[in-house]
Amino acid sequence: AQSVSQHNHHVILSEAASLELGCNYSYGGTVNLFWYVQYPGQHLQLLLKYFSGDPLVKGIKGFEAEFIKSKFSFNLRKPSVQWSDTAEYFCAVNPKGTYKYIFGTGTRLKVLA
C-alpha cells in the first residue's frame, strides 16, 4: 500500500538551531512531492514542491528540501529556525497520473525563543 512516513512526531528546538524533518514514502512509480505547513489555528499552506529537475528545491521562509530518489525520501531543512516557525509540518506525495495526495502523519515543531 502507498504510504508516507514522518518519523519525527514532535521536535523541540531553540531559535537559530538547524532543522531537518524526515519524510519517506512507499510508492513504486513517479511522484510529485510537497511540504505543507499549518500554523496554530490556521489552514495548510504550501511550503515547497518538487515535480522534476533539480532535486534540491527551495521554498518560502528559507525552507528547502532534497529529493533522494534512491531513498524514497524528501527531507525538509532550514539552517536556522525562528520562533515563528512553530507549526505542524506535513509531507505529501502525489503519484503522477492522479490528483490525489497521500499525507504523512505530520511533525509538530516547537521553537523556543
Partner 1 sequence: DAEITQSPRHKITETGRQVTLACHQTWNHNNMFWYRQDLGHGLRLIHYSYGVQDTNKGEVSDGYSVSRSNTEDLPLTLESAASSQTSVYFCASSKSGTESYEQYFGPGTRLTVT
Distances (CA, A) of 69 to 59, 75, 78: 19, 11, 20
Stretch that binds partner 1, among 17-25, 59-67, 77-85, 99-107 (CB under 8 A): 99-107
How many residues sit in the footprint of partner 1 (CB under 8 A)? 21
Q: Spell out the residues 6+ positions from residue 86 whose beta carbon is closer than 8 angstroms to its own.
A: 39, 40, 109, 110, 111
- Is residue 95 within 8 A of residue 113, CB to CB? The reply is no
Give the other-Cβ count within 10 Å of 49's Cβ: 16
Phi, psi of 21 (to 5 degrees): -110, 130
Residue closer to partner 1 by CB (options 18, 45) is 45
Site string for partner 1, 10-49 (x = CB under 8 A): ----------------------x-x-x-----xxxxx--x
75 binds partner 1 (CB under 8 A): no
106 binds partner 1 (CB under 8 A): yes
72 binds partner 1 (CB under 8 A): no
Give the shortest CB-83-to-partner 1 separation in angstroms: 23
